[in-house]
Copies of this chain bind each other. A is one copy, B any other.
């Protein structure tokens, strides 16, 4: 199909590099396309309200391990992960399509479990499953989800709207999904070495649930509407706080100052990270899969946001030349660097 000279290695290019490369050749020509590649969801103008569309691919052995992920949880999470992108536009998700490729090692009952999770997520979030595709797969389980949502044009929060002086806010707490994954991986290794030993996950429900059954923050979108706040920029945290704040700053042409002591970390996340000898702040910055919302609001909204128990103000937006910095608890200044997910890196086993 293609010869082997002058090849560029995808592993070195990385996912973002590949997307940037592909995007260069994309031209938008349709009047109804307000926003294509480059944000959490595409924005399409079909008169009146805007249509939001987002899509994700989840592959066995890459995104999930069926040795410890129950299929029902997997279906639930696959939908949540994708809905999260619609909420990250400050929109409301209303439909999903769900496609699967699966081998004959899966009996119908397994597929039912998977879809039970899908429908549970749909029902809980008032979303209709409106389509999909099914296929045999010669290898592992393949899942593709597309979410469709809507928003008034004036309400849509892009990544590029952050202004100097804006407050940087985050919902919920961070790092739990990553440390939950470390726990599940550890117990898997112990189990593989000695199948008689049962997994020891007692008292770790919260972080296990953060990994296996994340909840997209529709409630935050509704809360912001209720208290009359339109975020100037917003993104969901799928790859870790560091990677996502850099996306906002880059798209907005700004810098930021975040304060380590303000980053919300649950005590169980904190303690378990310490058990593993990992810095809890690193879990929050680079762990990913928390599916919380990271957004910026005008300083004028400070009074509205300061008393919200589920929202933390973790810093502010600066001019671009000031860079993106984290002020540690001891007062040291560290540049923020992206160490998020590289889809083409070798698996970290």
Contact = CB atoms under 8 A, between A and B. Distances in A.
Interface string A36-53: 110001101011111101
A54 interface: yes
B101 A57 contact: yes
Nearest to A56: B133
Number of this chain's copies in the complex: 2
A123 B28 CA distance: 10
Contacts of A148: 44, 51, 53, 148
A223 interface: no
A211 interface: no
Interface string A185-222: 00000000000000000000000000000000000000
Nearest to A2: B110
A96 to B, nearest CB: 10
Nearest to A32: B94
Contacts of A61: 138
Interface stretch (A62-70, A170-178, A297-305, A309-317): A62-70
Contacts of A320: none
Interface of A: 1-2, 4, 6-11, 13, 15, 18-19, 21-22, 25-30, 32-33, 35-37, 41-42, 44, 46-51, 53-59, 61-63, 66, 70-71, 94-95, 97, 99-102, 104, 106-113, 115-116, 119, 123, 126-140, 142, 144, 146, 148, 150, 343-345
The 7 closest A-B pairs by CB, nearest first: A47-B48, A7-B107, A42-B130, A144-B144, A8-B108, A36-B130, A139-B139
